[in-house]
Amino acid sequence: MSAVQLPGVPGRPFSDGEGARMGLVRMTLPVPRALARLVPGVGRPVLGAALSWTVLPRWVALRPPTTAHRLAVTEELVSLYRQSSDPDRLCRALALRASALVLAGRNAEACAALDTAHAVPGARPSVAQSAYAHHVRAQALMGLGRYEEALEAVREAVEAYRRAPAPARRDRVLGNLPGALRTHGLVLARLGRTAESVTVYEECAALLRPMSLRESAHVQLVRPRVFVELVGGLRALGRYEEALAVGPEAREAAYDSMGWFMPEIILTLRVSLLTDLAACESATGRRTRARDTAEEAVAQAHRLTERHPASGEWPLTVALEGLATVLDELKAHEDELTALRELVDLHARHHDDASLAETLDDIARCLGQTGDHRAAMTESERAVTVARRAAERDPARHEPLLARLLANLSIRQQDDGNMESAVPSAREAVALTRRLAEADWATHQPDTARRLRVLGQALRRTGAYAEAVACYEEAEAALRELLTDGGDHTAELALTHARLATTHRAAAYAGLDAGRTAEAVEALRSFLALTWRSDAPDVHARCVTTFHEIRAEFGSDVTRAWERATGQPYPTFVYRRVRGRGSKPAAR
């Protein structure tokens, strides 16, 4: 296997693959240590070779040593070669020390060790050793979040591996081109350059496929990671069929014997792979198969948590989220609720208030779809309470979440008929979103329009028609401004017009039923004006129907009131074509 321990699945910390400690060699270390003290000229090279063996085992079946062991051994190795006059071995020892520091999360120290290695006087590292150093630097820079610098370092590593001759035996464990390509793809993914990342992963996969069993011995961890991450990249690009085509190879790589030696790493990869495959199957209409795959991902995640509770909960969270999504698409709401409630327990245990609030909101949505509006409202209230707690700790990060969940709470309160609470919830959502839009207009102004619609709907249901109309018209103005700036908000504008038309109709009937004919006429005039600025056929049809029904029901009272207010006869309508986009009523 490669000596370079690469970063784990995206979103995970580096993994050291807890394992055996090369017991036989370690048991005999006192002998070369004593020899190094007594006969330095002979003993130091022997001790150096023994220490290097325990850090970089050459037997395929051996699991890598623990991080603590790597740190101890590489520190001893560096100290040993500082006492010698062999700059090449000191340079190599410093690179190994940097790799151990990366695994320990001490990335700044790793960079410093590599700088020291680069500055060792008289050192002439091999091409393979230089490539290894660049590769380790890339990993350290990734750990520091310096992705652009990491990209430059890993490109140097890739180019060095490409031009390197067949490595000497002692250099074969110092990484390889597939390993460097895998890190290259991972860095590109972290930078959001997914298409480029997939291209690199595909190149790496092409190198791995024809490898013999002997050649594969040095890429045992690289192979499953590359195929699993390639599937994830293809899914992110929406290339679902291609991801599914790679699926069998990825499964074969993730289900080989490595799972026995490194379950913490391999089971995590399986969960990631199965979750991505389930999403691709669902996106291509294979929803029954998607459910089976998502349930398999959860089963693998449970297996991981049983063996490694601390590190297994993150993959379990990913698997449960994927399963809940698939179950929602299948409308299997009872089973979805089971998955979501397990997620709630996970987030609560880790005090992850933002994720807990989101999951509680998902439970509320799911309950609403089953028709249990009272329970949905209760869960939504819990979600808002938790989101408030998160927003109090970190307003910049979590206030957008709070605003969204307040709007959702208002909708569920409306569904339950709790209008007294629905209006205040919606008002708070609008006020919070307006404040967010002041700081970031492009991001939050569309949300302002959406929350104004929620408030408008709540106000209409309480009979506050004038306020409701004001909300919808403000939402309309915001969306038109966004359209002017090139945003694609046509569908939202049409929805706003439809809600506004419903409100005008309700206001007109409410005024007539209460004997306030002048108010009814004003609502009808606003309704007619809406038809002239909207291209939505349903708005036009509703306008025609409303005018016809009101005239038939209320007769001369409404027509005379209309004529007094407008100086025009009460409208009748015919339809005419408007630039091929539908019809508008022409009043006459």
Amino acid at 301: A
The whole-angstrom separation of Cα 389 and Cα 379 is: 16
* β-pair partners for 547: none
Amino acid at 584: K
Q: What would the two tokens of residue 166 be?
A: 């067949």
The whole-angstrom separation of Cα 316 and Cα 298 is: 6
The whole-angstrom separation of Cα 36 and Cα 43 is: 4
Least confident of 45-59, 238-252, 280-294: 45-59
Determine contact, residues 406/426, Cβ cutoff 8 Å.
yes
Q: Is the pLDDT of residue 404 over 80?
A: yes
What is the rounded (10 degree) CA torsion for 408, 409, 411, 415?
A: 140
* β-pair partners for 573: 587
- Among 43-47, 68-72, 486-490, 555-559, the range with the most confident prediction by mean pLDDT is 555-559
Three-state DSSP class for 168?
coil
Average pLDDT of the residues in 438-459: 96
Q: Is the pLDDT of residue 11 over 60?
A: no
The pLDDT score that the predictor gives to residue 14 is 32
The pLDDT score that the predictor gives to residue 35 is 65
Burial 516-533 (b: 16+ CB within 10 A, else e): ebebbbbbbebbbebbee
The whole-angstrom separation of Cα 188 and Cα 172 is: 26
Average pLDDT of the residues in 176-204: 97
pLDDT grade, residue 196 (50/70/90)? very high
Helix 517-533 to helix 490-513 angle, to the nearest 10 degrees?
160
Least confident of 35-39, 333-337, 521-525, 536-540: 35-39
Q: What would the two tokens of residue 345 be?
A: 């327990």
Cβ neighbours of residue 339 closer than 8 Å, sequence gap 6 or more: 298, 320, 323, 324, 327
- Work out the number of other CB atoms within 10 angstroms of the CB of residue 470: 15
Q: Is the pLDDT of residue 146 over 90?
A: yes
Phi, psi of 301 (to 5 degrees): -65, -40
The whole-angstrom separation of Cα 6 and Cα 287 is: 34
The pLDDT score that the predictor gives to residue 535 is 85
The pLDDT score that the predictor gives to residue 171 is 67
Determine contact, residues 586/573, Cβ cutoff 8 Å.
yes
- Work out the number of other CB atoms within 10 angstroms of the CB of residue 37: 11
Give whole-number Cα distances, 125 to 6, 240, 296, 410, in Å.
Answer: 22, 44, 47, 66
Q: Is the pLDDT of residue 60 over 50?
A: no
pLDDT grade, residue 15 (50/70/90)? very low
The whole-angstrom separation of Cα 159 and Cα 180 is: 9
Determine contact, residues 380/361, Cβ cutoff 8 Å.
yes
Q: What would the two tokens of residue 53 be?
A: 């063996």
Phi, psi of 100 (to 5 degrees): -65, -40
pLDDT grade, residue 88 (50/70/90)? confident
The total number of residues written for the chain in this structure:
588
Residue 299, exposed/middle/buried by CB under 10 A (0-12, 13-18, 19+)? Answer: middle
- Work out the number of other CB atoms within 10 angstroms of the CB of residue 468: 27
The whole-angstrom separation of Cα 191 and Cα 314 is: 22
Q: Is the pLDDT of residue 584 over 90?
A: no
Q: What would the two tokens of residue 98 be?
A: 């940097």
Q: Which helix (H) or strand (E) holds 573?
A: strand 573-577
Q: Is the pLDDT of residue 361 over 60?
A: yes
Q: Which has the closest alpha carbon to 69: 9, 17, 115, 131?
A: 17
pLDDT grade, residue 26 (50/70/90)? low
